[in-house]
Amino acid sequence: MTPDETKDLAELLARIPGVKGIELKDVRRLTELLRETPEIGSIELRGFFGTGVVITRTGGTGTAPAMPAAAPAAALPAALPAAAPAATEEAARPAAALKEIRSPMVGTFYAAPEPGAEPYVKIGSRVSTGQTVCIIEAMKIMNEIEAEVSGVVREVSVEDAQPVEFGHVLFRIDPHG
């Protein structure tokens, strides 16, 4: 992005209702972040009552860094309970060989498409790339989370209806299973 394009973007963002005082240095840092971190797919800046920064990951195998994000206070849980990992079926497989599916956003984890329904996946389920594995509700929007790797689910790290943070491990998948 050229310096003129960056300046134009900063001016445009400053005109978004609810986004006040965005500075050119902030826009430069966001564009640098996109360039330097290939696992970040996009950064969306929202205004008005949904003021905040939404960061999405690409399907890369790298782990997205935790980043500061302004969000409405109501969307952030005061304290997140520690994740109670489900028992794994095969402890013989080294943890390093497992691939993690992490939360791309702050929200509430749901294992099934609706209350009372069977979960999308459970321990021992075989998943393929692009298959929906759970839903994360963020700001009253249900976001389907897809598997980034094919394999067998060895661990479900989150309980149904539990709040999750950006980067929180949701599942561990054995790609060789």
Q: Would you state the structure tokens that stand for residue 74, as one six-digit string?
A: 């109501």
Q: What is the CATH number of the domain that holds 162?
A: 2.40.50.100
Say whether both 111 and 170 belong to one domain.
yes
Give per-residue pLDDT as tens, 87-98. 434 444 455 689
Which stretches in the chain have pLDDT values below 70?
A: 1-2, 6, 9-10, 12-24, 38-96
CA 66 → CA 62, 89, 104, 110, distances in Å?
12, 30, 10, 22
Say whether both 69 and 120 belong to one domain.
no
Tell whether 82 is covered by a domain.
Answer: no
Tell whether 68 is covered by a domain.
Answer: yes
Biggest CA–CA distance in the chain, Å, is 56
The span from the first CA to the last CA of the chain, in angstroms, equals 43
- Of 41, 75, 109, the residue at which a domain comes to its end is 75
- Rg from Cα positions in the chain: 18
Tell whether 85 is covered by a domain.
Answer: no
Say whether both 41 and 108 belong to one domain.
no
> How many other C-beta atoms are found inside a 10 Å radius of the C-beta of residue 26?
14
| DSSP, res 160 | T
Quote the pLDDT of residue 8.
Answer: 72
Query: 22: domain range?
Result: 3-75
- Of 75, 108, 123, the residue at which a domain comes to its end is 75
Tell whether 18 is covered by a domain.
Answer: yes
Domain count, the chain: 2
Tell whether 81 is covered by a domain.
Answer: no
Say whether both 17 and 52 belong to one domain.
yes
Rounded to two decimals, the pTM is 0.48
Q: Which amino acid is at 135?
A: I
Tell whether 48 is covered by a domain.
Answer: yes
Tell whether 90 is covered by a domain.
Answer: no
Tell whether 7 is covered by a domain.
Answer: yes
